[in-house]
């Protein structure tokens, strides 16, 4: 039960982080001048080489959080049945 709660919290935090990366990558790619993109990526998002890499990382994090959330929900459903 302890690990299920941790999984639930990790899934929520991963979803928030993934959405932050995805939306941040789209905003940086859409609204900044090409010269300012590298500066904004280095300042706000760490060591990502491009906005595409940032969007990919956000997508993978969102997929991970959804999968972890599904596993946690399955555990809750199985636990309640028995």
Report pLDDT digits (tens) over 14-66.
999 999 999 999 999 999 888 888 888 888 888 888 999 999 999 999 999 99
- pLDDT exceeds 80 at position 82: no
Cβ pair 18, 61 in contact under 8 A:
yes
Domains held by the chain: number: 1
CB within 8 A of 18, min separation 6: which ones?
Answer: 58, 59, 60, 61, 62, 64, 65
* pLDDT value of position 49: 87
Q: How high does pLDDT run on average in the chain? A: 92
Dihedral of alpha carbons 37, 38, 43, 48, sign = positive
Domain span holding position 37: 2-81
Q: Determine the pLDDT at residue 66.
A: 97
pTM for this predicted structure: 0.88
Which residues 6+ apart lie within 8 Å of 60 measured at CB? 18
| Residues 9-18, mean pLDDT to the nearest whole number | 97
């Amino acid at each position: 039960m302890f690990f299920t709660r941790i999984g639930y919290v990790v899934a929520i935090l991963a979803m928030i982080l993934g959405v932050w990366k995805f939306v941040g990558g789209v905003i940086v790619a859409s609204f900044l001048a090409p010269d300012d993109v590298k500066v904004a990526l280095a300042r706000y998002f760490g060591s990502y080489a491009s906005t595409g890499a940032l969007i990919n990382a956000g997508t993978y994090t969102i997929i991970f959080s959804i999968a972890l959330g599904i596993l946690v929900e399955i555990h809750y459903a199985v636990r309640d049945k028995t």
